[in-house]
């Protein structure tokens, strides 16, 4: 009985972590689908989004949930600026050159966060919350908000991808680049919108992650590996798979703490990813997005 309660409790944490990972993994997957490279600065984009949201709160005294749209807008603009100043110039060479470039961009972003915010640890206002007791389970109110916020963001993204012309054009480019370009899809504009969305989703993950724990300059880098794992398990280049991948990785990471040191959580995500890469290199979920 006790183990069952424990398992359910960890599953709740897993779904919360999975919601955060999903937002990051969708961005990684979309960027890979359109630009064909693994974006290694995505973790640090997550960090930048969280700190941008916090900065907005500090400057305006707005209610705390304003951090989410403010951070998303900030990180979206920063992502587009990075693409226009750096990635755009090396896009026509091998995609792998973009990969090493993004590794450097990630370090630059992290250093800027360290310079602007210093080594202090920040957290969003709200303080320690008294959990709700439902049956034997403790539910932290923030966890409910994190899940709902992620759900709303993913739903809006789904409507955008399936109902708008731009969204459909993005899916077409990811499916078959040459065919899409022949039909006259404006590639540069679609790439820009991909970065806007990827940056906004990363910031969403960052603000929610900050709400769950605290803000540190390495918060995003530390969840980059689980985010990649979620994207790969879901089939990289397929944002809808990233949702399932995110949940699976989030649940596995939290439930593993039953029998492993919690500091090994990223390693659990990584092992699942390697297993999927060997057994099913295209992800465990079928179908295109």
Binding site for another protein (CB under 8 A): 32, 37-38, 40, 86, 89-90, 93, 95-97, 99-101, 103-105, 107-108, 110-112, 114-115, 118-119, 225, 228, 232, 236, 261, 263-264, 266-267, 270, 273-274, 277-278, 281
- Contact by Cβ (8 Å): 247, 15: yes
Residue 106, CA distances (Å) to 48, 65, 99, 220 in order: 10, 26, 11, 10
- Our CB check for another protein shows the closer of 93 and 214 to be 93
- Our CB check for another protein shows the closer of 15 and 273 to be 273
In the bound complex, what is the minimum distance in angstroms from residue 183's beta carbon to another protein?
A: 27
Cα separation, 42 vs 27, whole angstroms: 8
- The values of phi and psi at residue 138, to 5°, are -95, 125
In the bound complex, what is the minimum distance in angstroms from residue 152's beta carbon to another protein?
A: 29
In the bound complex, what is the minimum distance in angstroms from residue 201's beta carbon to another protein?
A: 19
Close Cβ partners of 82 (under 8 Å, ≥ 6 residues apart):
41, 105, 195
Residue 11, CA distances (Å) to 250, 252, 275, 286 in order: 9, 9, 22, 25
In the bound complex, what is the minimum distance in angstroms from residue 261's beta carbon to another protein?
A: 6
- Our CB check for another protein shows the closer of 42 and 143 to be 42
- Our CB check for another protein shows the closer of 1 and 279 to be 279
In the bound complex, what is the minimum distance in angstroms from residue 269's beta carbon to another protein?
A: 8
- Our CB check for another protein shows the closer of 61 and 263 to be 263
Cα separation, 33 vs 141, whole angstroms: 35
Nearest-5° Cα angle at 240, 86 to 198: 25
- Contact by Cβ (8 Å): 207, 8: no
- Our CB check for another protein shows the closer of 111 and 162 to be 111
Q: Which of 169, 226, 218 is nearest to 193 (CA)?
A: 169
- Contact by Cβ (8 Å): 14, 250: yes
- The values of phi and psi at residue 288, to 5°, are -95, 175
- Our CB check for another protein shows the closer of 97 and 187 to be 97
In the bound complex, what is the minimum distance in angstroms from residue 96's beta carbon to another protein?
A: 5
In the bound complex, what is the minimum distance in angstroms from residue 100's beta carbon to another protein?
A: 6
In the bound complex, what is the minimum distance in angstroms from residue 224's beta carbon to another protein?
A: 9
- Our CB check for another protein shows the closer of 169 and 233 to be 233
Cα separation, 247 vs 234, whole angstroms: 10
Cα separation, 87 vs 284, whole angstroms: 30
């Amino acid at each position: 009985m006790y183990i069952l309660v424990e398992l359910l409790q960890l599953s709740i944490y897993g779904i919360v972590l999975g919601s955060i990972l999903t937002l990051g993994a969708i961005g990684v997957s979309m960027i890979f689908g359109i630009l064909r490279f693994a974006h290694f600065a995505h973790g640090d984009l997550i960090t930048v989004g969280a700190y941008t949201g916090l900065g907005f709160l500090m400057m305006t005294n707005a209610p705390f949930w304003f951090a989410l749209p403010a951070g998303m807008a900030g990180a979206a603009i920063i992502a587009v600026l990075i693409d226009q100043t750096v990635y755009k110039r090396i896009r026509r060479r091998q995609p792998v050159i973009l990969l090493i470039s993004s590794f450097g961009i990630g370090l630059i972003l992290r250093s800027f966060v360290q310079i602007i915010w210093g080594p202090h640890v920040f957290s969003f206002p709200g303080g320690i919350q008294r959990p709700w007791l439902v049956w034997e389970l403790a539910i932290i109110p923030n966890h409910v908000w994190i899940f709902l916020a992620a759900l709303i963001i993913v739903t809006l993204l789904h409507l955008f991808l399936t109902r708008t012309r731009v969204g459909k054009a993005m899916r077409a480019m990811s499916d078959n680049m040459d065919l899409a370009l022949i039909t006259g899809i404006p590639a540069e504009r679609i790439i820009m919108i991909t970065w806007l969305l990827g940056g906004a989703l990363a910031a969403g993950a960052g603000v929610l992650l900050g709400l769950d724990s605290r803000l540190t300059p390495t918060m995003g880098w530390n969840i980059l590996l689980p985010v990649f794992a979620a994207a790969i398990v879901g089939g990289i280049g397929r944002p809808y798979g990233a949702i399932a991948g995110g949940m699976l990785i989030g649940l596995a990471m939290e439930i593993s703490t039953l029998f492993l040191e919690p500091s090994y959580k990223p390693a659990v995500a990584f092992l699942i990813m390697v297993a999927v890469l060997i057994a099913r290199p295209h992800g465990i979920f079928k179908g295109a997005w």
